[in-house]
A = this chain, B = another copy of it.
Amino acid sequence: MNLAAKLAQFDEHWAPRTVAEFNGHDVMVVKVKGEFVWHHHDDTDDLFLVLSGRITIRMREGDVDLGAGELFVVPVGVEHQPYAPEEAELLLIEPSGTANTGDRATAARRVVI
């Protein structure tokens, strides 16, 4: 499965698409631009791999800047705010059913492509 081909199927920002399943997790691709909400996950680490562009993961303890080919895991419970000055493309892995905002009320729904 080709990640770039999956990313070519949509344009929305902050709307992850599930492209594979792995040990109860969703492997997702997402396009991002601008600021996401500050949030944390009570039950899971949050894996970010940048496929194109650049993002900053803002955290209370300090920011992490990531470019293409760079990976970062936000530990469970740590508040963070992804920010992309220009459009960036990411691979994300989270347990299936994880709310992307950390809150089911505001989360994107799961979309498989």
Residues of chain A at the chain B interface (Cβ within 8 Å)? 1-4, 19-23, 25, 27, 44-45, 47, 49, 51, 69-73, 91, 93, 95
| A27 cross-chain contacts in B, Cβ below 8 A | 47, 71, 73
Whether B23 and A71, one on each chain, are in contact in the complex, defined by CB atoms closer than 8 angstroms, is no
Whether A3 and B45, one on each chain, are in contact in the complex, defined by CB atoms closer than 8 angstroms, is no
Most B CB contacts (10 A, CB to CB) among A19, A44, A51, A73 go to A73
* Pairs A–B under 8 Å by Cβ, sample size 20: A1-B71, A2-B70, A3-B69, A3-B70, A4-B69, A20-B71, A20-B72, A20-B73, A22-B45, A22-B47, A22-B73, A22-B93, A23-B25, A23-B44, A23-B95, A27-B47, A27-B73, A51-B69, A71-B91, A93-B93
